[in-house]
């Protein structure tokens, strides 16, 4: 096969065949102060996977906004959580959304979960020049449904900024507040009752919100949860029925 010939249904290969880069980059001797988005995490609960993120973005010691949505629905059966530079991460999300839909329409079937996982790894590798310069670094989380088994089972993956991919068995976190969140998740999974994997939706949402509250006390880049100011998280779940979003009103009700 000619290397320039795109593989059927592969949107990124199609871009390359037309000499278009999914994530164009150019070397630079100076790096601007970057906007950073943290913190995100995901864990298995009784009915699937809960993925959440605070809504703060910072640039150095400046709070840019507390209204960023860091958990993105890529298609009906997959989620992406971004930690790092949102400009790059949002572009990756848009490429994935287009790529998955392009494959579905051109091949008349959805892309498999392993192929989706590799597609994100490929985008991270293509972002390597920016990563090596310290500009545009992204360390995302990904969740998708494994539809090769019945009922379909959701799985969680995490990546390093160079594109290496790993499956998380129980939980995972990324971003500046991830250390605190991983520690609490580990404790709860080992010694707590109920374990996160045993929690029903209401318990899981309350637990996630409290995780962000605690993380924000130890990390200034993590935006907390404050019912008094109507500040909540971005929370989405993935189960056998697909993706569902939790509104601020639903979060407020579960937190009471």
Q: Given 30, 35, 38, 65, which residue is catalytic?
A: 38
- Count Cβ atoms within 10 A of the Cβ of residue 212 and give its class: 0-12 exposed, 13-18 middle, 19 or more buried: buried
Residue 153's alpha-carbon distances to 89, 128, 142, 181, 230, in angstroms, are 26, 32, 14, 24, 34
For residue 174, what are the β-bridge partners? Answer: 40
Supply 19's token pair.
């000499």
Place of tokens 């309350």: 206
Is-catalytic flag, 237? no
Measured in degrees and rounded to the nearest 5, phi and psi for residue 64 equal -80, -45
> What is residue 151's DSSP assignment?
S
Buried b (16+ CB within 10 A) or exposed e, 9-25: bbbbbbbbeeeeebbeb
Which residues are the active-site residues?
A: 38
């Amino acid at each position: 096969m000619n290397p320039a010939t795109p593989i059927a249904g592969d949107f990124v290969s199609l871009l390359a065949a037309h000499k278009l880069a999914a994530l164009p980059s150019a070397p630079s001797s100076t790096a601007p102060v970057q906007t950073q988005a943290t913190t995100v995490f995901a864990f298995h609960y009784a009915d699937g996977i809960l993925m959440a993120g605070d809504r703060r973005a910072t640039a150095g010691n400046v709070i840019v906004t507390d209204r960023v949505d860091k958990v993105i629905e890529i298609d009906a059966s997959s989620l992406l959580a971004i930690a790092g530079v949102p400009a790059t991460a949002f572009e990756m999300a848009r490429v994935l959304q287009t790529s998955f839909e392009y494959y579905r329409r051109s091949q008349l079937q959805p892309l498999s979960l392993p192929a989706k996982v590799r597609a994100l790894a490929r985008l991270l590798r293509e972002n390597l020049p920016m990563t090596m310069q310290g500009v545009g670094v992204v360390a995302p989380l990904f969740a998708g449904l494994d539809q090769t088994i019945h009922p379909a089972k959701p799985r969680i993956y995490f990546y390093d900024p160079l594109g290496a991919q790993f499956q998380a068995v129980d939980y995972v976190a990324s971003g500046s507040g991830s250390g605190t969140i991983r520690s609490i998740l580990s404790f709860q999974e080992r010694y707590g009752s109920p374990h996160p994997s045993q929690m029903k939706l209401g318990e899981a949402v309350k637990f996630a919100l409290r995780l962000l509250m605690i993380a924000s006390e130890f990390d200034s880049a993590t935006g907390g949860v404050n019912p008094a100011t109507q500040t909540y998280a971005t929370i989405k779940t993935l189960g056998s029925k697909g993706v569902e979003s939790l509104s601020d009103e639903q979060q407020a009700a579960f937190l009471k």
